[in-house]
Amino acid sequence: MVVLNKIYTKTGDAGETALGNGSRVAKHSTRVTSYGTVDELNATVGLARLHAGAEADAQLAMIQNDLFDLGADLCRPDMEKDADEEYPVLRMTDAQVARLEAELDAMTQSVEPLRSFILPGGSALAAHLHLCRTVARRAERLCVELATMESVNPAAVKYLNRLSDWFFQAARIANDDGRDDVLWVPGANR
């Protein structure tokens, strides 16, 4: 259990922060930027939930919890040392990826096939889910960049990749199963 008796610590005043293993890094490091973007994504999911019905809200709540797991995973470098830790290190799992894939498969059954690119918008929920999708893609790009420099759990990257697809399909469902999608009209304003 986490207990926070004081919110500010002053330990980051010089531009550094502590990772989950206690090591200190610059706040602008790619690792911190990666899990910071996952935190931003979680906040955008919270906004989307304000517009969601019961079923979508329950799915988004699970995603928010997964995103905290993902942040915990990303803030712990040195995956190869996990076995040496006193307590199990929280890492994303292939089961979390598989859950998203199963939900994606179910969503895909109910939406109209795409015949055009779509613009973010339509209903309020769809617009927020498209925002979630774009932040998820940015988080994924940052994690892929981090993986070129340091070890990153492959399941974390897979999760973000599936999650952005999940948000895309969920936005289509929020737009009456794609019937109210806003279609791109190439060159419409020339």
Say what the pLDDT of residue 18 is. 83
Which H/E stretch holds residue 162? helix 154-174
Coil/strand/helix, residue 26: strand
% residues pLDDT > 90 (the chain)? 77
Q: Provide the pLDDT confidence category of residue 33 given band limits of 50, 70 and 90.
A: very high
Burial class, 101, CB count within 10 angstroms (exposed 0-12 / middle 13-18 / buried 19+): middle
Q: Which of 10-19, 55-64, 94-103 has the lowest mean pLDDT?
A: 10-19
Q: What is the mean pLDDT of residues 88-105?
A: 95
Helix 154-174 × helix 94-110 angle, to 10°: 20
Q: Provide the pLDDT confidence category of residue 1 given band limits of 50, 70 and 90.
A: low
For the segment 161-173, what is each residue's pLDDT rounded down to a tens digit? 999 999 999 999 9
CA–CA distance, 137 with 88 (Å, rounded to integer): 29
Q: Secondary structure of 117-128 in the HEC alphabet?
A: CEECCCCHHHHH
CA–CA distance, 157 with 173 (Å, rounded to integer): 25
CA 17-18-23 angle, 5° bins: 125
Say what the pLDDT of residue 115 is. 86
Rg over CA atoms, the chain: 19
